[in-house]
Amino acid sequence: MVGSRIDVGLMGATGTVGLRLAEMLEAHPWFRLAEAGASAGSAGRRFGDALADLGVEDTALSDAVLDLELREPDGEWEAGLLLSALPSDAAAPIERGLAVRGHLVVSNASSHRMDPDVPLIIPEINPEHLELLERQRRRWPGAIVTNPNCSVAGLAVALAPLHRAFGIEAATAVTMQALSGAGRSEGLAERVEDNILPYIPGEEEKIGLEAQKILGVLTGEGIRPAAFPVSAQAHRVPVSHGHLLAVSVKLEREATPEEAAAALSGFEPALDVDLPSASHRLIEVLDERDRPQPRLDRDRGAGMTVSVGRVRRCEALDLKFSALVHNLVRGAAGAALLNAELCRVRGLLGVGGVGAGRGAAP
């Protein structure tokens, strides 16, 4: 029954991540996509028509959703819970304004990720960081919750078990990032054909800072980030979906590749409840020596599993391995949805709580 699902609004619905979120909401057991918004140019248009304008023909969206009239993101929303797939430059003031008006904004945008009182969460890794929301209450009645950058989503998941088991002293990560992870970029398609771009604006800084925050410790003063340095080199490659990372780590306590693989595959998520969008396996360690590969492994766990392979000694640091994350799912749309689910089980939706928009219902 529709009536039993919680209405949510979706901002940035016509972008790649927004569209994926809309599709994931179609059959969601808890949430129902009731409102959608896009940039000023599309506001007032039918969702399906705006997608067609952008050359998007095939979607898995129902007619009810395609018939939604797009609103301006900074306008009025009925839903208490808003999912944000806005571009980062637009997101900052809009999301803040909505928090002021009492909405719970679960955002994939980078704008607020590093704010001291905004939790940056991967539910299986650091769900306790959600307590930062108490610090937000001093600022506004609503709340902003964020998920990490698409590369960090894979890196932090792969580092967490090693950090917990052996302590990490330093990490390097060379990323090979898929096309669908790029924001709108004029002529990207032809620039990456038969080519690799060794630079993605702002990406390397995000990878280091966000990984440290996620793996940090919640204290009375806020998050104390993990102290180990993370050095990233980010590349755009001609692959449709799936970010591949070549990682090396220096450990505080010695570990063989076998012990590290065991720590990875045996990792117990730091979450005591089942969330609908969580995969059965957070991490899958592959045995074949030529895996993970983007095309073959990105869809594991419906895109929510991080695949790790080739765990072996590193001649320069201690260990090295490959990790693969589906940038649009575990790295963006699925990550935001998972955070929304976490918010619900933590009781953050509903009357009297944050996120009690005009249309919100428990």
Q: Which residues are near a copy of itself by CB under 8 A?
A: 14-16, 19, 51, 54-58, 170-172, 174, 176, 178-180, 182-199, 201, 208, 229-231, 233, 235, 237-241, 244, 246, 248, 250, 288-296, 309-310, 314-317, 320, 322
Peptide bond into 292 cis (omega under 30): yes
Q: How far is the CB of 43 from a copy of itself (least distance, A)?
A: 14
296 residue type, one letter:
L
* Comparison of 233 and 265: residue with beta carbon closer to a copy of itself: 233
Please say if 243 is a catalytic residue.
Answer: yes
150 labelled catalytic:
yes
Which of the following is catalytic: 28, 112, 150, 326? 150
HEC secondary structure over the chain: CHHHCEEEEEECCCCHHHHHHHHHHCCCCCEEEEEEECCCCCCCCEHHHHHHHCCCCCCCCCHHHHCCECECCCCCCCCCEEEECCCHHHHHHHHHHHHHCCCEEEECCCCCCCCCCCCECCCCCCHHHHHHHHHHCCCCCCEEEECCCHHHHHHHHHHHHHHHHHCEEEEEEEEEECHHHCCCCCCHHHHHCCCCECCCCCHHHHHHHHHHHHCCEEECCEEECCCCCEEEEEEECCCCCCEEEEEEEEECCCCCHHHHHHHHHCCCCCCCCCCCCCCCCCEEEECCCCCCCHHHHCCHHHHCCEEEEEEEECCCCCEEEEEEECCCHHHHHHHHHHHHHHHHHCCCCCCCCCCCCCCCCC
In the complex with a copy of itself, the residue whose CB is nearer, 54 or 270, is 54
Q: Which is nearer to a copy of itself, 57 or 221 (CB)?
A: 57
User: Which CB, 215 or 356, lies closer to a copy of itself?
Assistant: 215
Of 267 and 321, which CB lies nearer to a copy of itself in the complex structure?
Answer: 321
Please say which residue, 89 or 134, places its beta carbon nearer to a copy of itself: 89
Q: Which of 28, 129, 163, 243 is catalytic?
A: 243
Distance set, CA 340 to CA 80, 145, 262, 281 (Å): 12, 8, 31, 19
Provide, rounded to whole angstroms, the least separation between the CB of residue 10 and a copy of itself: 15
Smallest gap from residue 74 Cβ to a copy of itself (A): 16
Task: Name the residues annotated as catalytic.
Answer: 150, 243
